[in-house]
Structures are given as structure tokens and as C-alpha cells.
Structure 1
Amino acid sequence: MTQAFNLSQLANNVNTSGQLNAAAGLYNQTPVANGGTGVATVASGAILVGAGTSAMTAVPAATANNVLTANGTAWVSSASQGGPAPIVRVYTSPSPWTKPASLKGVNVTLLSGGGSGSVWKGPTTGGNGAGGGGGSGGMGGIPAPSIPGPLTVTVGAGGAAAGPGASNAYTQGNTGGSSSFGALLSCTGGAGGSNNNGGATGSFTPSPTAIGFSGTAGTPSSVPATVSGGGGNSFQLWGFGASPTPQGPGPAPISGTAGTGYGSGGGGAQCTNTPGLGTSGPGTAGYVVVEEFY
């Protein structure tokens, strides 16, 4: 072809403003030296990375979940070094748990139920109930090979309110329930108030991969007996025990109150020998949290 012919064909792709229609096709790609990529086509989903004065390199999106990482001289597609975010399961009631096939391990946090307060029923000067103990708890990491097949997640209930009981006597508070992750991790509930003595906190059995903590014991009634005992706080203060309750004037009864949150102890109670009166505060239930890592 002659130069004149080539120029005439170029004119066919130039508009009246002198603009070249690139969509009609160019002879070749723009070189890197002139600000181009040096690449004619790029695969769908690929990313172009610089290569100095040479044509850019396409990094394909060929492998799922890969990430771009720098090796010191270039960007390359490589497998992610981190895993996906853990799946967090919170249990406030008993439930079965099945180990997923791709599981790598779990972190488990447990809290047991708090105990309820005790009740004194008799003369107003005779005594006052004491608070229930707070729940214990702990946490531990367990690799997947150490976890058996299906197991049961047990969540400790709060100790039920005590009373009304017999006249001229104490009615003991009820112990909170234990929480567990199968047979691998467990903690016992806070004890119920005993006579005018506060209930003890529960306990957790530690292991090389787990640590446990106690809550606080319930408080006894005052001496002289004008204030009922308060409930104990739970492990990590996830629950606050019931506050001590002052005795009312004359024969007015003291009703125990419940704690707040999880695993807290209930307050003690005091009343006269009137039938049907005299109930302590209940403990509150615990919980179990399972974090699954893949």
C-alpha cells in the first residue's frame, strides 16, 4: 500500500474534530514507554502489575480465597495465612453440639448458675437469711482431634428461690446448676445460702489448656440480724448478686431479691411465722460460649 492510501484510511476513522476512533481498532497496543500497559488483552478478573519498562504482568484470579502478597520484588497470588473468622455460638439453655468436619479447634467459655438465698422464719429478732453464692467459670482451648463426636452443652440454671419454710427455722437456699462442654470442661454452681451464712461460690477444674475463676460468696446476715444477706457476684462480673435488704419495721417481712445478669446469687429473706410468707431471691442462670475455628 502507498503512504497516500494509508493516510486516506486513517481519515476514515477521524471525526470532524480530528479525534481518532480507537474502537475501530488500533494497529498495536501502546508501549510502556509511552504510558501504556504493553498488553493487548487481559483475562477476566486478572490484575495488572508493573514490570518496569517491560509489559505489565497479569496476575489471574484463578484460586479462590487467595490474596495478593509482596515477595520483596513483585506482587503474587498466594494462599491466605489466616483462617476465616470464628463462628461464635452462645448457649443459655442445654443443647447438643456436633463437631464439624473442617473444625480446627474451639475456645469455650463457661459460667455456672448462682445459688439462691436462705430464709429465716420466726421472731423478728431471731435471724435473717443469707445470700447465695455466685457462679464460677473458666475458659479453655481444645484442638479438634481432642474433641469426641457429638456432645452436650449443659448450661447451669440459677438456684430456685427457697421458702416459705417451717416456723422458727432456716430454709436453706438452693445450689445453682453446673455448666459444661461435654466431659471436657465444667464448672459447678454457686451454693445456696446456709442458715445465716452466705453460700460459697462454685468451682472450675483447671487443665493445661484451661483456666478457671471463682465468683464471690454470698454475704451473711448482719449481727444483730437487721439486714438479710446479699448474693455473690459471678465469675468476671457477668452477674451482680442481689443487694442486702434491711429489715422493715415490726413484723414486716424481708423478701429476697434476685441478682442481675448471669450466674449471680440471690438475696436472703426473713419473715415472721405467718403461713405462706418468706421467699428468698433466686440465683440467675449461667451460659456457655463456643468459638469454632476453621
Structure 2
Amino acid sequence: MVFIGGAGNMAGAVIGGMVASGYPADNIMATGRDEQKLRDFVARTGVRGSTDNHIAIRDADVIVLSVKPQGMKDVCESIAADVSVRKPLVITLAAGIPLAAYQRWLGAGVPIIRAMPNTPALVGTGVTGLYAGEGVTSEHRSVATQMADAVGIALWVEEESGIDQVIAVSGSGPAYYFQFMESMIDAAEKAGMKRADAERLTLQTALGAAKLAVASQVDVAQLKRNVMSPNGTTERAIKRFQEGGLPQLVAQAMGDCAARAAEMAQELDN
């Protein structure tokens, strides 16, 4: 398996997760243009490294593309001659680029999977949305699932547009929670709490709530009610959120996010 741009943060997280879960490090090749950064990454992970994409992919059965969307076209076209002949599985970690663009850049008949991981993959608690193009086999799906599971959980979508919804929920989702945490910290500080204490309490509370929700057999609505006593402190706070339109605002924000993801796909495709 070859990761083009593999010394970057997201690919590095995926590679680290795969190695930690038992995938043989010497079966992974990472490429990068920064020689020192690549050497450091190889020393840290035990994978093989190369600054030459052509040499790296020569015998690869799986190629993972982890470069910025703006540079994806050039990278794909530079390896297209080899890829279009051998037709290895190509997994792309870049957001916003539709399969149609990869098919033009790499050649028809190449099996391609779009993967949309999120930043918590860096700490092994990520979510990766996956969409399979034509020619992707069950074996290919298994490879992509194993890769995603190494840094969290995987979710396959049946339509390519489903990736936009994944972006709205989990791709961009960490930033929603960071925004809420930031607002809680700011509010606590304004109320007189030391900022360091406010941050410590807020982050631990967020962690605890998420772990409790994952471990619980009931849905989050019931967990919310479990914290609320009639006419109590939590109920008053929740009523303020609801009266302020928080549920509607969240829905609108996620809709905007998904719409922008679709717009970006068109822009990058063109």
C-alpha cells in the first residue's frame, strides 16, 4: 500500500493507526517532497519512504492519495500512465473532488474509493465516510474499511452525494463542538472562573458526555432528560437553548455545510 503525501497529518494518522493495529509497517510506503520530514516519519513509524511517486507506485496494489485538493489533478495526471494500465485500487482522502474528476485524470476503469476522514483520526477516534465507484470489489471495500477502522469507525454511503452529508455531520462536525466548547469557556470566564479552570472543566465534560453517549444503550435525547430535573438548573439552560433556536440553527448550519461541499465538488471538477 502506497500513501502519496503519506508524511502529512491525516495520512500519517491513518498509517500510525494501521501499524498500531497490526498492519505490517514494511508493507506501507509513504511518499513526500520534504526529505527531512519524510525521513523523520519513516524513523517514527517503521514504514518505507520515497520522494519519487513513480518508483513508489510501480508495484502497488493500493494507492492512497493524500494531497491537497488543489494539487490533486497534477499528482493524478503524473501517475496516470502507470495507473491506467495496471488499475490498482485508488483511495482518495481529499475532500470535495468527485469521482468523475479522478476518472478523467487517472483513466477509465480504475477502481476508486472516496474516503472522508475527520481530524479526530489523529487520536484514533475518527469517523471515515466511504463511497465506492464502479469496479470496486468486496475485497477493495474490505481494504478501505480496515484502513478506516484503524483510526476510528467507517461508514459506507450508497450515493456519492452522501459524502456531502458525512462532511456536514462528521467531517466538519469537530469544529461545531470546538465552537460550543469555546463559547462555554468564554461564558465561564466572564462569570468569574479562571480561564484555565473553565477550559479544563469544559473539555472533561465534553469527553465524559461523549463517552457516556457511546457506552449508553439509550439515545442522546434520553441522556439529556436524565440530567434534567423538573424546574431545575439544567432544564432552565436547555429551555434557553431551545428558545434561542439552537436546534434550527444547527440544522441550518449543517445544511449550509453540505451545500458548500457540493459547490466545492463542482468547482474542483471544473
- Give the number of the structure with larger relative contact order, counting CA–CA contacts within 8 Å between residues 6 or more apart: 1
Higher alpha-carbon Rg: 1
Query: Scaled by the length of structure 2, what TM-score is found?
Result: 0.23
| Structure with the larger strand share | 1
TM-score for the superposition, normalised by structure 1? 0.21
Higher helix proportion (structure 1 or 2): 2
